[in-house]
Structure 1
Amino acid sequence: MASEQSNNQSVERAISVLRAFLSGRSELRVSDVARATGLGVSTASRLLATLETLEFVERDEVSGLYRLGTAPITLGGVALNQNAVHREARQVAQDLAATLGLGVNVAIRRADSMFYLLNFEGRLAPRSFVLTGQRKPLYATGIGKCLLLGLGADERRELLPEAEMQPFTPHTITTHARLDQELATVGGRGYATETEELAFGRACVAAPIRGQAGDIVAAISISGPLSAIDLPSKEDELARTIIETADSVSIGLGYVGPVRAFAVSPT
């Protein structure tokens, strides 16, 4: 029993070392890792050396700083390839981003956050970083609103305490009363929008993806800078496109339920 507990502790410590690199800094000193994990410097150094031999981290020979290695990339690639939503959505999303020149993103819900499975950026919406693997708040994103449709009002309140619904901009929804109204609209028309609720200067339109049983298993969005996505004049067109794309992925996942008809708003 003592040996098993010791092994578990070693695994937990090694994972805590890897998680230290999630802080956003690309390279860390041993002391940085020790501080982030609460481990002693000697313990952190020993774990980093072991992880280096396994290619989970690598050490710069000149600076002595550590960064993540290639093993996490391999594991991430395998995990994505085994994910049914990723397999069905990848090519569709890539083609759509190329056609529209905008960003196309697919995410699933993990606890109280949305988790990006993939993202492609078109020529009108370039990024210098990859969104895959990042988490964002459900209540402040178009994809998140679609994912929340799969929960009842009581479940949403339990999952997202109102005190924790912090504003990212003045446009962020921070009360369940407003969120309920928004989700009623989203459910009625079959798509969600988000304009500067998470970050200034960006907007998106999103639609839910359903699994074989008809439950919402993921969501897909078209996103980009306000000037490129131009929701005031293009919302109907983008909504139709994202609903059709979501339906295509849903069918690939085995969903055979009714396909929602999209009604163009009067002009």
Structure 2
Amino acid sequence: MPGQTGPRAADRTLEVLELVAEGTDPVSAKALARSLDCALSTVYTLLTPLTERGYLVRTEGGYVLGYRVSALHRSFQKQTGLNDGIDGLLVRLRHTTRASANYVAYQGDGLVIADVRTVAAQGRRRTDLGIGVDPRSHAYAHGKIALAAAGPAARRRYLEEPGLRPFTPRTIVSAARLDEELRRIRRSGIAVDVEEAQPGLACLAAPVLGEDGTVVGSVALSVSPSQLRSHRAQLTASVRRAANEATQAICR
């Protein structure tokens, strides 16, 4: 790539950063060259600005993430409201409800999961949420919050890809039924799913607002279906109160 500039060079530089971030051990330049299927000289050209700017550090075993990455992460947390206050809020919510408490931050058009914080209840399994567009958004309560807040174009893109896939017999797979569910969520401010994403799992979620009033995240509780049936009013009040508290913390 000597002499190559522009989007392709930037794209390959980011590929190098991502490959090093994915490694559990230092990654050598030769390993990067194999992964990128390019010359070793090209890899060193890509590594130079990353190391000079502190995004990567060269060690005896290879390259690892540098100090600038943590600075980016702190800025990311500030922009998405993911601070120590959110963590404390989840601990209090779990203590009050004895249920797994989650904070899910959204980005972009609202359907991209930017980060997830979880405080799991004793002995209760944690939901497996990844970063990016979750194809189970229509099945999870936190995803329904995002879909309810998203614009028509974003919802249409979701219906087209990944689409309304069934994950359990209870998953909503009808666009008309989902639209009705999203209208109800916008009216009530609470989303619920009962074994729609996973058998034996029920969730409640409430939206968290940013300074401009848009939905930037949600607070959610993961419980058993029987716990939801017997304590729905208390759980709903708790998750709504926690979401309001998170909104205040972000807008403070």
TM-score of the superposition, structure 2-length normalised?
0.72
| 1:182 alignment counterpart | 181
Query: What is the RMSD of the two structures over their aligned residues, measured on CA atoms?
Result: 4.0
Q: How many residues align?
A: 244
Question: In structure 1, the residue corresponding to 2:13 is in which secondary structure?
Answer: helix
| 1:147 alignment counterpart | 146
1:244 correspondence with 2:241: yes
Identity of aligned residues (%): 24
| 1:223 alignment counterpart | 222
1:120 correspondence with 2:118: yes
Residue 104 (structure 2) aligned to one of 103, 106, 119 = 106
| 1:261 alignment counterpart | none
Question: In structure 1, the residue corresponding to 2:138 is in which secondary structure?
Answer: helix
User: Map of 1:32-181 to 2, 5 A cutoff?
Assistant: 33-34=32-33, 37=36, 39-44=38-43, 46-48=45-47, 51=50, 55-57=54-56, 61=60, 64=61, 68-80=65-77, 82-83=78-79, 85-87=81-83, 89-101=86-98, 102-111=100-109, 113-124=111-122, 134-137=131-134, 138-152=137-151, 154-165=152-163, 167=165, 169-170=167-168, 171-181=170-180
Shift of 1:92: 2.2
Shift of 1:119: 0.8
Inter-partner Cα distance in structure 2 for 1:161 and 1:34? 39
Stretches of structure 1 that go unaligned for 5 or more consecutive residues are 256-267
Distance 1:216 1:13, change over 3 A: same
Q: Which amino acid aligns with 1:142?
A: A
Question: In structure 2, the residue corresponding to 1:139 is in which secondary structure?
Answer: coil
User: Map of 1:198-209 to 2, 5 A cutoff?
Assistant: 198-199=197-198, 202-209=201-208
Q: Deviations over 1:199-257 (max 9, x none)?
A: 55544210012345543332221236x48x832323322111111111233345559xx
Q: Which amino acid aligns with 1:91?
A: G
Inter-partner Cα distance in structure 2 for 1:172 and 1:35? 42
TM-score of the superposition, structure 1-length normalised?
0.68
Stretches of structure 2 that go unaligned for 5 or more consecutive residues are none
Shift of 1:85: 3.0
| 1:260 alignment counterpart | none
Q: Which amino acid aligns with 2:176?
A: A
Shift of 1:36: 5.3
Distance 1:123 1:90, change over 3 A: closer
